[in-house]
Amino acid sequence: MSVGDGKIHISLIITLVFCLQSIPIFAQQQEQQQSGCHCPQSTFGVTVFRGEIKSPGYPNLYCASLQCVYEILPANERSIVLLIESFETEATYDFLDIFETFRISDVTHEVKLKRLSGNDVGTPSFVSPISGGFRLKFSSDATEHFRGFLARFNRVRSPDGGQKCPTVFYEATMQPQELPSPLKNFHFETGCVFMINSTERYAISFRVDKIDSAAELTLYEAEEYANDKALKRIVNPGGPSTSVPFIPQQISSRTNSLVVVFRLIASHYQRIHTTPRSTTSQNEDYFKASFSRIDSREHL
């Protein structure tokens, strides 16, 4: 046998080994596709007024190594109500990230609202601001598998009264502006997101004069929001049966962009829905806050 023949044999052996290794992978992909356990093409356009979103294979077990994206496109003058009806994943390692999407100057932006993982998340609900949308990203690893999730959404012209999130985007100026608050008939546990921007050499001053004991505000510099590294968490130390006064707080960013997240505190959430509220209290704000821009050189 010549040297050339030996090289040919080695090449054939390598090719054969590669093909044998590829067969299980190809078979797994075929099995997942045949069982419906692969990521579907899931974009819900502006003419889709209601629908359901579920993990591949639901209510059977989902598959390994999934990276699925579901998008509900924003529609002008409409909000989207999203309800997670059923949820069960491997805690920490398999999760559903929920993002709010909105368009500014024909550019789509997204902010992360929540990550769901495990089997004790309840049935959280979300509402977009007017003309806002949602993007859901489901990820699974290669180990344990569970039933996954089922979610439903519905487009509405405008949620009743204060049961909606205000506009997402705000531009800070030298003149203080009030940040609009949801009213106390707002019942979506997962809350609202606000983005406040300023020009390059300015930072942002944010002041909270009042906040209900059932609510919290979490502030992030925009660059740290994806890392969940909060600049400040603001709550009212007084509970519903105490008279501890809230001391106004003022926080300054180090950059020209600030993300403010409003949420209802879980320990108070049940009380909100079981305690009757007067019409007057339902028309009250959860918080009073304002913002303005300041010269960033003040923080050097």
181 and 283 part of one domain: yes
What is the band of 9 on the pLDDT scale with cuts at 50, 70, 90?
low
Alpha helices in the chain (DSSP H): 3-35, 222-225, 266-274, 279-282
185 and 141 part of one domain: no
89 and 181 part of one domain: no
pLDDT digits (tens, 9 = 90+) for 227-246: 778 999 999 887 554 556 78
196 and 282 part of one domain: yes
What is the DSSP annotation of 127-173? EPPTT-EEEEEEE--SS----EEEEEEEEESS-STT-S---SEEE--
Question: Total domain count for the chain?
Answer: 2
Domain range enclosing 283: 169-299
Instruction: Using DSSP, state whether 7 is helix, strand or coil.
Output: helix
- Residue 232 in domain: yes
- Residue 15 in domain: no
Residue 22: pLDDT over 50: no
Report the pLDDT value the prediction gives residue 252, as an integer from 0 to 100. 95
What is the band of 20 on the pLDDT scale with cuts at 50, 70, 90?
very low
CB 44 within 8 A of CB 154: no
- Residue 10 in domain: no
CB 193 within 8 A of CB 276: no
Report the pLDDT value the prediction gives residue 32, as an integer from 0 to 100. 43
Least confident of 86-90, 116-120, 260-264, 282-286: 282-286
- Residue 24 in domain: no
151 and 222 part of one domain: no
152 and 242 part of one domain: no
Residue 31: pLDDT over 60: no
Give me the mean pLDDT over the 34-58 stretch.
87
* Boundary-marking domain end, from 156, 186, 207: 156
Residue 5: pLDDT over 90: no
Output the domain CATH number for residue 173.
2.60.120.290
- pTM of the complete model: 0.74
182 and 261 part of one domain: yes
219 and 178 part of one domain: yes
